[in-house]
Every structure is written in structure tokens, then in C-alpha cells.
Amino acid sequence: MYRDHTKVIRIGDRKIGGGNPVLIQSMTNTKTENVEQTVAQILALEQAGCDIIRCAVPTMEAAKALKEIKKQIHIPLVADIHFDYRLAIAAMENGADKIRINPGNIGSTERIKAVVDVAKERNIPIRVGVNSGSLEKELVEKYHGVTAEGLVESALDKVHIIEELGYDNLVGGAVVYIGVATGFAAAMTNPFSVGIAQTIADVPLNSGVAYRAVIFAVFEMVSIWYVMRYARKVKQNPELSVLYGCDEVERSDKKQYDKEVNFTFRRKLCTILFFATIGILLYGTSMLGWYIDEISSLFLAMMVVAGVVGGSSLNEICLTFIESTKSVVSSILVIGFTRGILIVMKEALISDTIVYYLSSLLDIGDPVISAIGMLFLQSIINIFINGSSSQATITMPIMAPVADIVGVSRQTAVLAYCFGDGFSDMFWPTNCSLECGLMGIPLERWYKFITPLFLIMTILQVFFIALSVCVY
């Protein structure tokens, strides 16, 4: 590799790597706590042509002294840290432009992560250092002593540890959020979206699976490509993150997830029960015509069975069920209210009026354009109706007859609902603001990340909707 092909690193107001000039670095031999002597030595080195200066930080007093030293010098300051990760954090908080650490001496991954988090927040580079005195015992034995090969392997291992901690919050959040939104938009057999919409539209349950399977594959590949592309970019250069400088996720409580959990026999049985439940669900919905009542009964029964198998008492199972249900009470109420609205609309003939005006709006003589119009209409409705089941319950009794009038199949109307309900969840603020809050991501930064993908998916949705007019 040529030197001008290496990564560019900023240290204070200087740059190294890439095509930048080679910079001269020296190190003080004074006690860093002695600000006067340390500053005098640094100023003398500046006169001699030194570009970067490194100071040892063996104590907290030395770390705090960096703040005063920085005020009196003119070149970037590097803090040399040994053993105590708290000194690295303190040095950065007191003005160090770069830190030099040996992760092997710092301690656990949690301690290294604490240092990395502060460095990311303050845009401070980390130099990974290894030496013969800190070389791991297994590497000494592997290479029969302290060798260059052992030092290189140790350095690469430590760099890898830090790189693994380099993803921003958005990567993890996007994996979950985009996965869910894509799954809803391109769902093949989802009983809570496709199932409800097809039942209301009087379309055979789980029909059109083959076409939606193609859509699902395309959407998933595009989503995975987009997230992985961003993740690789951020990992290579954290400055390219859309969250650069504003990583706001609280990390204080993450240690609770670090403890090892034994995969006991009971847990293995619960895992088998989970997959068995999915299998029964797929068989019931596709072969036996199961719907909400049967599906709910299946989930309730398996919850009790899994609880007993897992070693919980009936009282514990009931309490867990109550706690879990609290989070979905609002959605249950919304579905109930929307059902009431639907009945009122039907009995008062309001639905007929809406159908008439929507059909007039969408009936422009071209089924393809009418179908695309239904897609955008469903997307706009999703701003105001967040729940997939609720949107299906309210819109499909209207859109199904509209589809008949404008010459579009009801299967296409169902697809337009799925597209409009699913992927736009990631874009409309009424939907994504909550998720951004949970992820600790500012809304404007989320839009910077998601807008290109949303536009790509919109184009794909228009294409597949137009094609569905020919397919169905």
C-alpha cells in the first residue's frame, strides 16, 4: 500500500496520512504535572521544528495539567496513557488532541468502550500502542519470545477491538427499524396487515403470495445493501456518520446486557416451542383459514405452555402477561375506535360518499396511474393513521370498491395499502419520531440518513404497483 492511500487522520489542526506531509513528533521527559517545565520544553521543541508533542499522563494530576499546558503551546498535544482508562478520559476532557493507549493494559472491553465513546464524542483519534513489556503471554509462547510478528498480531487485535466499537447508534437502530418497515411493506402472509386487508377486500386469504415474495426479496436486498453500505462507511471513517458529533444515546445501563446467559435445557425447549408456534401459525393461516381469533388463541396458549416449560409459576406468567400488555393497550384502543368509526361511516352512508369522490379523483382512464394514485393516497393516510390494522380497517372498505370502479384489481389495492402503510412509517414524523427518540437520534439526522433509501423504495413501489396491474 502506498502512503497516499492510507486513511487521513486529523490531530488538532494537523493532518497525517493520505498525501499529507510527514509530521515530526517528539515527547517530553518532564513530569507533566510540572506545567512550567513541560511548557518550556515543548516551546523549545516547537522552535526545533516539532509538529506534534506527546506527554506522559501517569496520574490524574498530570491529566488535569494538560488543560493549562494546552493554553501555552501551539502544536497538537498527545496524551500517553498506561493502565488506567480513567486517565485517558480525563486527558481528553482536559484538551488532549490525541491519546495513545495500549488496550491490553486498559482492561476490559467495557473500559475500552468508555474511552472510545469519549473519543468519538470529541472527535479525538486513538493511537494503539504495543510493546514488548505488554505482549500477551500466549503470543510470546506462540512466537517463542518477543518478536515483530507477535507485536504486529497484538496490535491488529487491539485495533480490531476498537474498530468493533466504531459503529454509530444509527446502524443498530436501522437494522431493526428498516427491517420491520420493509417486512410490513413487502409482507407475504402477515395476518395483521395483508390478512386483514384481503379479508375486507374479499380477496382469497394469502393469495398473491408469489408476486409479493419477489417484492419482499427485492426490498430486503436493497435495505440490507443500504444499511451495510452505511455501516462499512462509518466503520472505516467515523467522521462520515450522520451522527458525527451528536451521539446522544445513553450507555450507562448497557452493562446489564453483557452478562452471559446459559442455554439450559428449559431454554432449549422454549426455543423449540417458539419455532413450533411459527410453524403452526403458518399452517393455520395458509391451510385452515385461521384469522385473528385463532391466531390470538394460539399465541395465548403457547405463552402459557412456554412459561410452564421455562419454570415460571402461573402467577408469574399472568404478571408477565399484564406487564407486556401495557405497552399495546393504546393500539388496542385505536383498533376499537376505528372499528366504531367504520360502523358509523357505513350506517350513515358516509363510506359511499367517500367512495364516490375518491373514485372520481382516481378514475382518470389509465389503471396504472390510478393504482399509483392509490399508493400515494395510502402513504398520505399513514401520516394520520399509524397502526397497520387500523389503516386496513378504515381504508380497505373504501379502496376496494374504488378499485373496482377505476379498473384496478382488489389485489393491487391490497398491495397499495401494504406499501403505503409499511415503508412510509420510516419517513413520516408521526411515525418515526418515537423510534428516533428511543434510538437517541435527532430527527433531522435520521432524515439525512433515510431520505435516499425512502426515495429508492418509492421508485420501486411505483414500479411494482404499475407491474401489478398487468400481473393481477
Lowest average pLDDT, out of 2-16, 288-302, 333-347, goes to 333-347
- Kindly report, residue by residue over 65-124, the tens digit of the pLDDT: 998 998 888 889 988 887 778 888 888 888 888 888 765 566 566 777 777 778 777 778
Structure letter (DSSP) for residue 97: S
**What is the DSSP secondary-structure string of 417-451?**
HHHHHHGGGGTSHHHHHHHHHHHT--HHHHHHHHH
From 201, 196, 390, 198, select the one nearest 293 (Cα to Cα): 196
Per the listing, cell 464524542 goes with 121
Average pLDDT along the chain: 78
The least confident of 131-135, 186-190, 458-462 is: 131-135
> For 331-376, what is each residue's pLDDT tens digit?
566 556 656 766 776 677 665 666 567 667 777 778 888 889 888 8
The CATH superfamily holding the domain 3-129 is: Dihydropteroate synthase-like (3.20.20.20)
- pLDDT above 70 (res 255): no
pLDDT higher than threshold 50 for residue 441: yes
- pLDDT score for 258: 42
Query: What pLDDT shows up at residue 464?
Result: 94
Does residue 143 contact residue 149 with C-beta atoms inside 8 Å? yes
Sequential DSSP letters for 12-35:
TTEEESTTSPP--EEE--S-TT-H
What residue segments make up the domains of the chain, in order of their start? 3-129, 170-252+260-471
> Strands, E, within 254-345: which ranges?
none
pLDDT at 172: 64
- 4 has pLDDT over 60: no
| Residue 227: closest CA among 239, 248, 242 | 242
User: In the predicted model, is pLDDT for residue 137 greater than 60?
Assistant: yes
Q: Return the percentage of the chain with pLDDT > 90, whole number.
A: 9
Q: What is the pLDDT of residues 75-90, one digit of tens each?
A: 899 888 877 788 888 8
- Residue 2 reports pLDDT greater than 60: no
Segment 154-161 long-range contacts (CB within 8 Å, at least 24 positions apart):
154/104, 154/130, 155/128, 155/130, 158/102, 158/103, 158/104, 158/128, 158/130, 159/128, 161/103, 161/109, 161/112
Reported as a pLDDT band with limits 50, 70 and 90, residue 43 is very high
| Confidence at residue 114, expressed as pLDDT on a 0 to 100 scale | 77
178-222 confidence digits (pLDDT tens):
877 887 788 777 776 787 888 888 888 778 888 988 998 999 899
Determine how β-strand 14-16 pairs with β-strand 25-27. Answer: unpaired
Q: Supply 313's cell numbers.
A: 409459576
Dihedral-angle region of residue 301 (phi above 0 means left; psi in -120 to 50 means alpha; beta otherwise): alpha
